[in-house]
Amino acid sequence: MRYTALEIYSAGAGNIQKNQAFRASKNRNLKGEADMNETNIDSGQAATTYQNAGRIFKNFFEDIGNVVVGQNKVVEQIVIAILCEGHALVESNPGLGKTLMISTVSKAMNLKFSRIQCTPDLMPSDITGTNVIEEKDNKKEFRFQPGPVFANVILADEINRASPKTQSALLEAMQEKQVTVGNDTFMLDRPFFILATQNPIEMEGTYPLPEAQLDRFLLKVLVDYPSYEEEMEIINRYTKSEVPNISRGLDKSTLLDLQKLTRQVPISEELKQRVLSIVGMTRKDKEHIEYGASPRASIGLILAAKAKALIEGRNFVSKDDIDYMAYPVLRHRLILTFEAERSGMTPDQAIEEIIRKLK
């Protein structure tokens, strides 16, 4: 069963009245949550759209759970990055199912998936594609052969093993959604999402991503080991003759609509100020943070909070959305001082300290 854009936009009069009454509640403004009437979109349509989106995402995550055991937060953050038209950097030890996770998400969204195994000898043309000579009608002419970047979802496995020249080949694709080969520019298909992984254990023979490229990733997602119960379910599921499959998902057109709706989720001025306060304090805390986050982090944090609200079926952004998404949005954008690193402080601890001061 696949959900179409028509299903998302289907509206009911009862739901509209109920959501309008809910939006009129004074308690929402006391919490710093925005009213739908403050936006320039139709409130009735938006309210029912968000409600149906929450139901669709609930079924979507249940379907993902038939293949991926646990890692609910990781899957949710990957979907949030896709909804925000951003990219994600995943850091984890080997064997925790990163490839299975992202390939399952792409199948559930009915998207084209490709995987790039990064190695030191990987060339930029191996990613973007190249011109090849083709003989036709006794004539030789160049024909562009697209590379694996011409897909909707790309897994760049162990990106820190690729050379800086190859890493930079992804910059144009990530930011401009296009690839330039020679004098020709080729537009990439939408939606377009890159999930890059890196292994924190082995650092020998790797090329750490420069800060300019790290900033291009909307989120940095950390994958931990499964619990005892989850690992028991993994071995029960994947030691049988039948492998779990995806049975339903989203239309590509529906996903594009949801990406547009993500930007339309209202957010109050008070919460915007909270975002600026969080990001601003990363630049002022010179005791622990040498270099803070850029304005791109402020944009990313608001978008990620909006996507979190949309996934949960809410037509407003809450303070908890901001605080929850601050960690994956900021952790790769902070450079700690030498004293902070020597004391064992992590970026997440620095972010936690900032949020604690703002409460």
Reported as a single tens digit per residue, the pLDDT across 17-70 is: 334 333 433 334 434 444 444 444 444 544 455 667 777 788 888 888 888 888
The boundaries of every CATH 1.10.8.80 domain in the chain are 25-66+265-359
CATH number belonging to domain 71-227? 3.40.50.300
Q: Give the torsion through C-alpha atoms of 100, 312, 308, 7, to 10 deg.
A: 80
The boundaries of every CATH 3.40.50.300 domain in the chain are 71-227
pTM to 2 decimals? 0.81
Q: Are 125 and 98 in contact (CB under 8 A)?
A: no
Q: Rounded to 5 degrees, what are φ and ψ at 152? A: -85, -40
Nearest to 90 by CA among 168, 18, 197: 197
pLDDT of amino acid 299: 94
- The arithmetic mean of pLDDT across residues 103-129, rounded, is 86
Nearest to 83 by CA among 190, 3, 7: 190
Percent of the chain whose predicted confidence (pLDDT) is above 90: 19
25-66+265-359: CATH superfamily: Magnesium chelatase subunit I, C-Terminal domain (1.10.8.80)
CA 299 distance to own-chain centroid? 14
Lowest-pLDDT range of 49-63, 90-104, 280-294, 315-329:
49-63
Place of tokens 């004391």: 343
Kindly tell me if the per-residue pLDDT of 3 is higher than 50: no
The SS3 assignment for 45 reads helix
